[in-house]
Amino acid sequence: MTRPGAAVLPLLLLLATPAAALEPAEVVDAFEGAGGRITTFRPSHAKGVCAAGEFTPTAEGTRLSVAPTFAGAPVPATIRFGVAGATPRASDVARTTRSLAIRFETAAGDQWDMANISAPIFGARTPEMLVAGLRARRAGPNGQPADPAAVAAFVAANPQSTRQAAWLGQRMPPASFATTPYWGVNAFRFQGRDGEVRHARWVFEPAAGEQRLTEADAARLGPDFLAAELRARVAQAPVAFDMVLQFPAAGDDVTDPTVAWPADRPRATVGRLVVTAVEPGPGGACDPISFLQLDQEPGVAFSDDPVLQGRAAPYAEALSRRTTPR
């Protein structure tokens, strides 16, 4: 059984290519080149707040997966909400992703970590594309901005990389961590009680409904309100999200996270996540968690999506840089 301590970056934001193509250090170097030296904070979604709660599967979830998390009993959850960026000073009103990272752990010790983002698509088709994009955005000498020509050349060669930013740019930011959907943009394999294996993606849909800021709200609230708003909200009543699986139709690509599947694809609500407590300040139980472990097979397993493959080594490299003085 795999245990924590092997990784640090959110699942969707640090990926490895096969060893012959990129060494783990090269992947992490690309993040440092674009976002700065990794020290105390995570290099992706560095700004965040830890929370706690539980996940209760539905009967449909138990039918669709034999994973321990869907066995039937409520499962404790360690939760982290975050704001995109390599700095804990990232703006809460920026048109960037928010994140929902979760660790489920059953009474028997079975773990499932996931990291979800507030957009239905990822910014890279392959690990190679991700690293190339980071390298194109490498900061210049003495903290100068990245070379615009290098960024433009990368975008021209990789138009898929613009889809997430375009989606975000068409929408105002979330009004709360509690009022945005969070997508797991990669496909996984779910083995049901009937023995059938089904590809699926998921989304955590807010029970409070989707709510976004207005321009006036953004100006009034400023760049640092989300954590305090969540604390106040949960102090009044638990915050809930429904976990919904979406299944592909013939022709839908299960290996390309830069393309969202059409909204009319079959769906099933498989559980409810309830947030019951939020840390009063920075830090908490989520800080040392990698949000990498997937100890749920055969009920839930990776698909052949390349961004889900070969990631353990660079996660370990990033953790070492964050926790070991250099």
Q: What is the DSSP string of 192-258?
A: -TTS-EEEEEEEEEETT---B--HHHHHHHTTS-HHHHHHHHHHHS-EEEEEEEE-PPTT--SS-TT
- Coil, strand or helix at 302: strand
Checking phi first, is residue 93 left (phi over 0); if not, alpha (psi -120 to 50) or beta? alpha
Cα dihedral 86, 113, 288, 119, rounded to 10, equals 20
Q: 59, 290, 34: which is closest to 139 by C-alpha? A: 34
Question: Rounded CA gap, 81 and 89, in Å?
Answer: 15
Question: Rounded CA gap, 84 and 305, in Å?
Answer: 23
42, 45, 80, 189: the catalytic one is 45
Question: Rounded CA gap, 75 and 56, in Å?
Answer: 6
Active site residue 199: no
Question: Rounded CA gap, 126 and 21, in Å?
Answer: 12
Positions annotated as catalytic residues are 45
